[in-house]
C-alpha cells in the first residue's frame, strides 16, 4: 500500500477569544493530519470548538497560534489573491443551507457562478448546461425543474443537496461540512450522507465532517477526532474510536447516546447528584 | 388492560391561514394511552406532531380550529368545552403540555419562582405565595433540582437545568397526562439523558399518570416509550409497541423511517440506510388517496383512488395501507 498523501495538516492550532479574565481557549493546540481522499469526522458537544476550528481551516478567521499546511506546504493566505486561490481548494457547506448565500438569486445563477469560478466563463452555454445537468443528477435533482426557481421554494433536504451539487461543480480538493444534516429529517439525512460518500468515491475529495452526533460520524468516516473543550482528546480509525474507545470522555459520549440494539444505560446519570 | 387516561377518537383539526386557506394538519387521529404508559409520536418535521399535541388539549384558538372527533381525559369528555373552562379546569391539572423549545420561551426578566406562581395561580388565584414556594421547593428537591434555582433568572441556568425546571413546573399540579414536545432535542446527550431520567422518575412518583412523547429522534423515542405512533402528512400511518414498530415496521413509510436510524453500534458501517425520495405533500391540498403514494416504492393506481383506512391487526397493531401485512412483507423481501 502506498503512503497516503497529506492534504490538510494542523500543528498546535489555537484560537483564543477575549482577553484577561474573559479569555476563552475555543481551540486549544490541536494537531492533525488529514490525508487526501479521507473522510474525517470531528465530533464534540456544542461549544467544544468545532465551528471555530472549521473557520480557521477555511481561512475565515485568523489563528491565534499554530500552523496549517495544505498539501505539505505552509498555508499563507495573507494576500487577497492567495486567499482566493486557497478557496478554490477548500469549500464548505453549513448547517443552514439557506443562510449560505443570497436566496433571492435564482438557482441556475448559483450554478453559473460556480462554473465561472472554475474558469468556465467562456464555455459555450450548451457545455454549461451539460455541466449543470450533470451536477443536478449527481444529487438526484432534475435541473429542468430547478431553473427559474428560488432557493426558498425548496425543502431543507433539497437545498442541502443543491449545496452538494455546487461542490460537485466547484470540485475543491477539500470539503468542510459543518453539521450539514442537523436541520434535516432522518430520511433525507440518509440521502445527504450517501451523497457525501459518493462525492469522495467519485472525485477523491477529502471531506471534513463536523457533527455533534457520534453515530453519524461513525457511519460516514474513515477517521474520527473527538473534541472536548477545544482539544482533541481521542482520535483514530472510526472502528477504533467508536467500538474500542480508550478515553473516559469518549466512553461517556457513547454511553449517553440512546441505542437500539444495545441497552441505553440510564444509571450513569443521577438526577439527585449535585 | 390498564385504566385509560387519554382516549382520542377520530380527531380532526385544521389551521385557517390569513389567506383563508385550510391546512389539514391533523386528520382522523385516534389513540389511547393507559395509566403508567408512555406513547411516542414519530414523523418528519411538518407532519403534524406539534399540531396534534395542541389539538389533544381541546384548547383551540386561531389559527387552529377544531373540526370533528372527541377527546376523553380519564373518563371526562372535554370535546366542545368552552375555551375558558378548558384553560381553567383542564390545562395544567388534567393535561399538561411542554411545547417545543419551551425553555427558550421563559420570560428572561422573571425569576423561576414567579413563573411557577403564575402557573399555579392561573388555576387557583387563592393559593398563597408561601404555599406555592413550599410546594415548588419540595417538588424540586424530589426531582433533584437545587432550591436555589427558584430564585434564579432563566439566563443564569444552563440549557439542561432550564429544561428540567420547565418540566418540573409542568407537573406541579400533578396532571393526569403530560405531553412533551421534543423536550431534549436541543440538549447535549448527557443533559438529554438527565431529562429522560427525570421524566421517568416523575411517572414513578405519580406526578403524572401517563405521557406522550414527541420527537423525530427514533432511538430516543424507542428508549422512552411503550408504544409508538408514526405520523405522515397529518395522519397516523402505523401504531404498535415500540419494539415492533422499530424492528418490524409494516407500513412502507415506517419501514423507510426505521431504515434510516443511525446509532453508534457495531455493524452500522455495513448497513445500507434507506432513503425516502421526495417530500411530503402540501397539507393545504393533501392527495385524495394514500398521502404517501408520491413517495412509495410499492404504489399502485389503486392506492391513489380513495382515502386509505387503517387496518387493525389482532396483535394490537394498526397501519394505513391498502395491502395486507403479508403482501407488504413479501414486497420487502423481494425489494
Ligand atoms: N466570535 C466569537 N467570539 C467569542 N467567542 C466565540 C466566538 N465564536 C465562538 N466563541 C466561543 O468559542 C467556543 C467554541 O464555539 P464553537 O466553535 O462555535 O463550538 P461548536 O461549533 O463546537 O459548538 C464557545 O465557548 C463559544 O462561545
Ligand atoms: N400557525 C400555523 N398556520 C398554518 N399552518 C401551520 C401553522 N403551524 C403549523 N402549520 C402547518 O401545519 C403542519 C404541521 O406542523 P407541525 O404540527 O408544527 O408539525 P411537526 O410538529 O410535526 O413538525 C405543517 O405543514 C405546518 O406548515
Ligand atoms: S397504500 Fe399504496 S402508496 Fe400508500 S403506503 Fe400502501 S402501497 Fe404505498
Ligand atoms: Mg458549531
Ligand atoms: Mg413540532
Task: Say what the ipTM of the complex is.
Answer: 0.90
Burial group, residue B185, by CB count within 10 angstroms (0-12, 13-18, 19+): middle
List B residues 206-225 in contact with A (Cβ-Cβ < 8 A): 216-220, 222-223
The CA dihedral of B281, B287, B290, B296, to the nearest 10 degrees, is -40
What confidence score (pLDDT) does residue A107 get?
85
CB B179 within 8 A of CB B96: yes
A141 part of a folded domain: yes
Ligand 3, atom nearest to B328 Cα: 7
CA of A271 to the centre of ligand 3 (A): 45
Lookup result for grid cell 409494516: B250
A116 part of a folded domain: yes
CB contact under 8 A, A188 and B275: yes
Alpha-carbon distance A89 to A84, whole Å? 9
What confidence score (pLDDT) does residue A152 get?
81
What Å distances lie between residue B144 and B27, B65, B161, B179, CA to CA? 40, 39, 10, 21
Q: What's the total number of domains in chain A?
A: 1
Chain B: nearest CA to A162, how far in angstroms?
14
What confidence score (pLDDT) does residue B94 get?
95
Alpha-carbon distance A171 to A154, whole Å? 23
Percentages of chain B per state (helix, strand, coil), in multiples of 5? 35, 25, 40
B173: left (phi over 0), alpha (psi -120 to 50) or beta: alpha
What confidence score (pLDDT) does residue A149 get?
83
Grid cell at residue B267: 455493524
pTM value is: 0.93
- CA-nearest residue of chain A to B146? A274
A29 part of a folded domain: no
Taking contacts as CB-CB distances below 8 angstroms, the residues of chain A near B268 are 215, 218-219
Burial A226-238 (b: 16+ CB within 10 A, else e): bbbebbbbbbbeb
Q: What is the pLDDT of residues B33-74, one digit of tens each?
A: 999 999 999 999 899 999 999 999 998 999 999 999 999 999
What confidence score (pLDDT) does residue B52 get?
97
Ligand 2, atom nearest to B181 Cα: 21
List A residues 13-52 in contact with B (Cβ-Cβ < 8 A): 45-46
Q: Does B144 touch chain A (CB under 8 A)?
A: yes
Element containing residue A235 per DSSP (H, E): strand A231-237
CA of B180 to the centre of ligand 5 (A): 11
Whose Cα sits closest to atom 18 in ligand 1? Answer: A51
Chain A: nearest CA to B275, how far in angstroms?
5
How many Cβ atoms are within 10 Å of B163's Cβ, its own excluded? 26
CA–CA–CA angle B158, B112, B153 (5° rounding) = 55
* Domain B1-102+175-335 CATH class label: alpha beta
What confidence score (pLDDT) does residue B250 get?
98
Say which of B198, B216, B222 has its CB closest to residue A260: B222
CB B173 within 8 A of CB B45: no
DSSP structural state of residue B91: B
Q: Cα Rg for chain A, rounded, in angstroms? A: 20
CB A42 within 8 A of CB A225: yes
CB contact under 8 A, B273 and A238: no
pLDDT < 50 stretches in chain B: none
Long-range CB contacts (within 8 A, 24+) of B267-273: B267/A261, B268/A215, B268/A218, B268/A219, B269/A218, B269/A219, B269/A238, B269/A239, B271/A219, B273/A190, B273/A193, B273/A194, B273/A219
List B residues 147-206 in contact with A (Cβ-Cβ < 8 A): 164, 188-190, 192-194, 196-198, 200-201
**How many residues can be counted in chain A?**
274
Q: What DSSP string runs through A10-25?
A: EEEEEEEES-GGG-EE
Nearest to B140 by CA among B211, B206, B90, B202: B202
List A residues 156-195 in contact with B (Cβ-Cβ < 8 A): 157-158, 185-191, 193-194
Strand ranges (DSSP E) for chain B? 4-16, 22-34, 38-42, 64-73, 76-77, 95-98, 177-181, 210-214, 227-232, 235-241, 310-312, 318-320
CB B247 within 8 A of CB B271: no
Q: What is the pLDDT of residues A9-34, one digit of tens each?
A: 999 999 999 999 999 999 999 999 99
Nearest to B298 by CA among B257, B335, B258: B335
CA of B281 to the centre of ligand 3 (A): 14
Contacts of A78 (CB under 8 A, 6+ apart): none
How many Cβ atoms are within 10 Å of B318's Cβ, its own excluded? 19
User: Would you list the domain boundaries of chain B?
Assistant: 1-102+175-335
Whose Cα sits closest to atom 3 in ligand 3? Answer: B293
Alpha-carbon distance B259 to B245, whole Å? 11
Strand ranges (DSSP E) for B89-159? 95-98
CA of B260 to the centre of ligand 4 (A): 24
CB A102 within 8 A of CB A150: no
Grid cell at residue A262: 444495545
Taking contacts as CB-CB distances below 8 angstroms, the residues of chain B near A270 are 144
Alpha-carbon distance B148 to A22, whole Å? 26
Burial group, residue B54, by CB count within 10 angstroms (0-12, 13-18, 19+): buried
What confidence score (pLDDT) does residue A73 get?
97
A210 part of a folded domain: no
- Which residues, in sequence order, are bridge partners of residue A16? A25
Ligand 3 touching residue B60 (CB < 6 A): no
Alpha-carbon distance B153 to B26, whole Å? 37
Element containing residue A210 per DSSP (H, E): strand A206-211
- pLDDT tens series, chain A, 274 aa: 557 899 999 999 999 999 999 999 999 999 999 999 999 999 999 999 999 999 999 999 999 999 999 999 999 999 999 999 999 999 999 988 887 766 677 888 889 999 998 889 999 999 999 999 999 999 988 888 888 788 888 888 888 999 999 999 999 999 999 999 988 888 888 889 999 999 999 999 999 999 999 999 999 999 999 999 999 999 999 999 999 999 999 999 999 999 999 999 999 998 876 5
Domain span at A122: 97-171
Ligand 3 touching residue B276 (CB < 6 A): no
Q: Does B45 touch chain A (CB under 8 A)?
A: yes
Contacts of B224 (CB under 8 A, 6+ apart): B38, B40, B196, B199, B200, B213
How many Cβ atoms are within 10 Å of B327's Cβ, its own excluded? 12
Alpha-carbon distance B43 to B254, whole Å? 9
List A residues 191-250 in contact with B (Cβ-Cβ < 8 A): 191, 193-194, 212-219, 238-239, 242-243
A:B CB pairs within 8 Å:
120
CA of B138 to the centre of ligand 3 (A): 52
Ligand 3 touching residue B222 (CB < 6 A): no
Lookup result for grid cell 429544561: B163
Amino acid at each position: 500500500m502506498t503512503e497516503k498523501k497529506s492534504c490538510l495538516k494542523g500543528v498546535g492550532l489555537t484560537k483564543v477569544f477575549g482577553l484577561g479574565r474573559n479569555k476563552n481557549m475555543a481551540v486549544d493546540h490541536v494537531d492533525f493530519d488529514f490525508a487526501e481522499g479521507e473522510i474525517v469526522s470531528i465530533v464534540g458537544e456544542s461549544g467544544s470548538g468545532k465551528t471555530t476550528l472549521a473557520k480557521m481551516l477555511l481561512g475565515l478567521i485568523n489563528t491565534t497560534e499554530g500552523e496549517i499546511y495544505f498539501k505539505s506546504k505552509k498555508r499563507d493566505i495573507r494576500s487577497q489573491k492567495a486567499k482566493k486561490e486557497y478557496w478554490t481548494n477548500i469549500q464548505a457547506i453549513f448547517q443552514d443551507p439557506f443562510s449560505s448565500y443570497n436566496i433571492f438569486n435564482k438557482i441556475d445563477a448559483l450554478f453559473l457562478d460556480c462554473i465561472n469560478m472554475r474558469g468556465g466563463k467562456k464555455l459555450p452555454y450548451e457545455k454549461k448546461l451539460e455541466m449543470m445537468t450533470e451536477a443536478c443528477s449527481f444529487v438526484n435533482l432534475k435541473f429542468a425543474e430547478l431553473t427559474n426557481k428560488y432557493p426558498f421554494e425548496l425543502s431543507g433536504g433539497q437545498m442541502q443537496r443543491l449545496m452538494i451539487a455546487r461542490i460537485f461543480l466547484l470540485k475543491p480538493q477539500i470539503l468542510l461540512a459543518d453539521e450539514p444534516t442537523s436541520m434535516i429529517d432522518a430520511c433525507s439525512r440518509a440521502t445527504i450522507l450517501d451523497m457525501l460518500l459518493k462525492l469522495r468515491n467519485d472525485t477523491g475529495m477529502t471531506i471534513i465532517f463536523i457533527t455533534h452526533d457520534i453515530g453519524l460520524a461513525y457511519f460516514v468516516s474513515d477517521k474520527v477526532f473527538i473534541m472536548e473543550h477545544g482539544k482533541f482528546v481521542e482520535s483514530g480509525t472510526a472502528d477504533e474510536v467508536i467500538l474500542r474507545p480508550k478515553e473516559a470522555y469518549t466512553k461517556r459520549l457513547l454511553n449517553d447516546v440512546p441505542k437500539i440494539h444495545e441497552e441505553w444505560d440510564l444509571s450513569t446519570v443521577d438526577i439527585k447528584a449535585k | 388492560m390498564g385504566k385509560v387516561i387519554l382516549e382520542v377518537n377520530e380527531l380532526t383539526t385544521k389551521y385557517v391561514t390569513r389567506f383563508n386557506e385550510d391546512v389539514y394538519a391533523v386528520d382522523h387521529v385516534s389513540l389511547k394511552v393507559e395509566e403508567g404508559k408512555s406513547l411516542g409520536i414519530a414523523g418528519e418535521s411538518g407532519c403534524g406532531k406539534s399540531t396534534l399535541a395542541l389539538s389533544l388539549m381541546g384548547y383551540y384558538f386561531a389559527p387552529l380550529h377544531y373540526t370533528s372527533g372527541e377527546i376523553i381525559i380519564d373518563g371526562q369528555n372535554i370535546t366542545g368545552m368552552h375555551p375558558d373552562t378548558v384553560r381553567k379546569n383542564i390545562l395544567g391539572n388534567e393535561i399538561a403540555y411542554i411545547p417545543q423549545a419551551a425553555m427558550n420561551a421563559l420570560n428572561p426578566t422573571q425569576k423561576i419562582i414567579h413563573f411557577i406562581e403564575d402557573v399555579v395561580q392561573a388555576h387557583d388565584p387563592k393559593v398563597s405565595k408561601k404555599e406555592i414556594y413550599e410546594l415548588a421547593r419540595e417538588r424540586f428537591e424530589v426531582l433533584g433540582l437545587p432550591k436555589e434555582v427558584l430564585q434564579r433568572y432563566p439566563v443564569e441556568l444552563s440549557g439542561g437545568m432550564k429544561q428540567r425546571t420547565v418540566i418540573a413546573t409542568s407537573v406541579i399540579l400533578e396532571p393526569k397526562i403530560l405531553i412533551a414536545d421534543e423536550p431534549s432535542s436541543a440538549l447535549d446527550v448527557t443533559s438529554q439523558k438527565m431529562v429522560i431520567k427525570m421524566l421517568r422518575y416523575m411517572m414513578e412518583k405519580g406526578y403524572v399518570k401517563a405521557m406522550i412523547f414527541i420527537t423525530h429522534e427514533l432511538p430516543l423515542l424507542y428508549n422512552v416509550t411503550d408504544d409508538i405512533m408514526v405520523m405522515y402528512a397529518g395522519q397516523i400511518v402505523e401504531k404498535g409497541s415500540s419494539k415492533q414498530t422499530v424492528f418490524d415496521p409494516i407500513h412502507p413509510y415506517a419501514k423507510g423511517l426505521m431504515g434510516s436510524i443511525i446509532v453508534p453500534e457495531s455493524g452500522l458501517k455495513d448497513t445500507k440506510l434507506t432513503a425516502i425520495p421526495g417530500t411530503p405533500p402540501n397539507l393545504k391540498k393533501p392527495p385524495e388517496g394514500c398521502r404517501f403514494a408520491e413517495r412509495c416504492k410499492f404504489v399502485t393506481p389503486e392506492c391513489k383512488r380513495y382515502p386509505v383506512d387503517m387496518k387493525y391487526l389482532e396483535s394490537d397493531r394498526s397501519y394505513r395501507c391498502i395491502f395486507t401485512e403479508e403482501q407488504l412483507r413479501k414486497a420487502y423481501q423481494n425489494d
